[in-house]
């Protein structure tokens, strides 16, 4: 998710998206530890998205 898209969301939508993304990230990390996922760069992108969402809340 790009910063421009995040700025267009309301604060409540950002909070919901942040919670959803954190849950997805936790699942993906667990599945990656069990058996390597096809695209490990996806983990990095999700971390960056979480950071962008957190920054938008401040």
Which CATH number covers residue 17? 1.10.287
> Bigger pLDDT: 38 or 50?
50
pLDDT at residue 38, rounded to an integer: 86
The share of the chain scoring above pLDDT 70, in percent, equals: 100
* Statement: residue 33 has pLDDT above 80: yes
List, for residues 5-25, the tens digit of each pLDDT value: 888 888 999 999 999 999 999
pTM for this entry: 0.85
Domain that holds residue 30: 3-57
Dist CA 23 CA 16 (whole Å): 11
Cα separation, 19 vs 14, in Å, equals 9
Say how many domains are in the chain: 1
């Amino acid at each position: 998710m790009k910063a421009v898209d995040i700025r267009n969301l309301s604060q409540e939508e950002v909070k919901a998206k942040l919670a959803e993304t954190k849950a997805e990230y936790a699942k993906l990390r667990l599945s990656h530890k069990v058996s390597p996922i096809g695209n490990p760069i996806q983990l990095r992108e999700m971390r960056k998205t979480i950071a962008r969402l957190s920054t938008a809340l401040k």
